[in-house]
Structure 1
Amino acid sequence: MMIRKPIGMLDSGVGGLTVLKAVKERLPHESFVYIGDTLRNPYGNKEEKDIITYTLQLADFLVSQGVKMIVIACNTATAQALKEVSQRVSVPVIGVIVPGSEAAAKLSQTKKVGVLATRSTVDSGFYEETIKSFDSDISIESLACPQFVDLVEQNDYRSENAKKVVAETLEPFKTATMDTLILGCTHFPLLAPFIQEVMGEDVTLIDSGALTSQAIERVLEEEQTRAEADGNPSVQLYTTGSKDAFKKIAKDWLETDQFTIETIALERLTDKHGRNEHSSHCDSK
């Protein structure tokens, strides 16, 4: 039955685990299959065509796992490949940009919104376009913060070094008059305490990933595929990189060890129709 199938989530690395945690808390009876492309991350400094290719590979893998929905738990992949994934698969596809954009448009009193994201997300203009679709009068200032991704991927987001990097990176925003700031990368919520300290308590931080959980719940209700309480929910994690490093971070961020984890190698193949396909090899040792 469709309701017993898992929700699929993909990300360029570990950042999407913040989304997984939020969705798991909101929908505790759901099962999840998550894949993080840690071998090829970060996506934020890559070409659009490569981001699309990688994201489609991850989506193909999730489809092969029998998921009932795909959540692109990565702002960069959402900005560059949401349309392509939606056209490719037959299950609902949700990105992380629209929920945060809508919330920011509704919350901002000054109509001045900031966006912190990767370089690729900033250059795509997807946040600006989406925010203005909700309120065309809002002015948006975006800032690329590639070092934030590195800090989180290295599990160095609590250190004095991280605090210093955040303060230096946000220097251009300290005198801005924005009252709302979107954390436009799923890695960034882990740096929220430092970001809030720099920006001040008058600035509202928007966690797009957490808000995505509400959108997922709405779609499950509409599709009548929400899991029931009598199920046996599970969390299966896959990484294209080091399983040990991923497991350590996942246990820390999810605050649980109730998951299984495997390393998977994705290889691009082309079928007779010219589409990109994948083969996979799992190593759970």
Structure 2
Amino acid sequence: MRNNLPIGVFDSGVGGLTVLNAIKDLLPGEDLVYLGDTARVPYGTKSAASVIRYAEQAAAALTSRDIKLLVIACNTASAVAVEHLQQLNPGIAVFGVIEPGAQASIAATTNNHIAVIATEGTVNNQAYQTAILKHNPDASVVAQPCSLFVALAEEGWHNGELVEAIVSECLRPVLRADCQSKIDTLVLGCTHFPALKQSIAKVVGDQVTLVDSAQTTAAAVRQFLIEKELLNKQERGEVCFLVTDDPGRFARVAKHFYTGQIREGEIQQIDIQHFSPIG
């Protein structure tokens, strides 16, 4: 039965574990296969053509394990590869993190003034801006690259006065005096950023709603599985971890993003470059 098949999730590295967490929390009965393409991280500095090729290979590696649904837990790959992977895999629904995050920001805002923080590549791609304006042409969207947040998240620097000072400095352009009274919604447009959510919330204040694309993506996946009657009825599912480079480093950094326990011996290193698209 398709209900019992796992959900496949891939990212360029560890940031997508925040999406995995959200899916696991919302859908505890689902079996999950997570693939971190750690040999080629980060995707954000690569060309669109390279990212699409990487996404094809990651998707092919996961579909070879007979998954029922595919989640692209990477903003960069989501920006360029969702429709492409859906065309290559017509029998499997493909979810990215950008569309759910954009729709959630529109639902959250009360004055149509939305800010997006992401890596430089995602900001320059304008994927969030385009998705938000597609659904709400009246929205005013400002985007700010905060690539430094990635390093903070991976080093486990999530809270404290120093982290808040760095967050405040990075957010200064969207929180300056002439913007602060307008923006009421802030999209965390990188899967690393939920790790800093508490510090970001302190800096922006209660008047700004934070939209976590990991949580909104998990909610979209859950809604789809319910509508298609594909929920796994078991009480608790299993999680399988795959990486394309050093499992040891993945295990060390993953503890800053994943709420469960990951032992190095449980992580399988695979080569995905020989996988070709099915379509």
TM over 0.5: yes
Aligned pairs for 1:83-98 (under 5 A) are 83-89=83-89, 90-98=91-99
- Quote the Cα distance in structure 1 between the aligned partners of 2:201 and 2:156: 19
Aligned length: 271
Residue deviations 1:196-239 (CA, integer Å, cap 9, x gap): 22222211110011111111012112322210136x62100112
Which of residues 206, 220, 232 is equivalent to 2:211?
206
Asked if 1:264 is matched to 2:270, the reply is yes
- 1:251 CA drift (Å): 4.1
Structure 2 length-normalised TM? 0.90
2:110 aligns with 109
Structure 1 length-normalised TM? 0.88
- Quote the Cα distance in structure 1 between the aligned partners of 2:207 and 2:159: 23
In 1, are the aligned partners of 2:164 and 2:203 still within 8 Å (CA)?
Answer: no
Question: Given residue 59 of structure 1, which amino acid in structure 2 is its aligned partner?
Answer: A
1:54 aligns with 54
Higher strand share: 1
1:128 aligns with 129
Asked if 1:227 is matched to 2:219, the reply is no
Structure scoring higher RCO (CA < 8 A, sep ≥ 6) equals 2
2:15 aligns with 15
- 1:78 CA drift (Å): 0.5
Question: Given residue 253 of structure 2, which amino acid in structure 1 is its aligned partner?
Answer: I
Point out 4+ residue stretches in structure 1 off by more than 6 angstroms: none
In 1, are the aligned partners of 2:195 and 2:256 still within 8 Å (CA)?
Answer: no
Aligned pairs for 1:236-275 (under 5 A) are 236-257=240-261, 260-268=266-274
Question: Given residue 103 of structure 1, which amino acid in structure 2 is its aligned partner?
Answer: A
- 1:267 CA drift (Å): 2.2
In 1, are the aligned partners of 2:154 and 2:256 still within 8 Å (CA)?
Answer: no
Q: Percent identity?
A: 38
- Quote the Cα distance in structure 1 between the aligned partners of 2:164 and 2:270: 34
The answer to which of 254-263 and 23-32 deviates more is 254-263
Q: Secondary structure at the match of 1:253?
A: coil
CA RMSD of aligned residues (A): 2.0
1:283 aligns with none
Q: Structure 2 regions of 5+ residues with no counterpart?
A: none
Aligned pairs for 1:26-65 (under 5 A) are 26-65=26-65
Residue deviations 1:49-91 (CA, integer Å, cap 9, x gap): 1111111111111001111100011111101111111111131
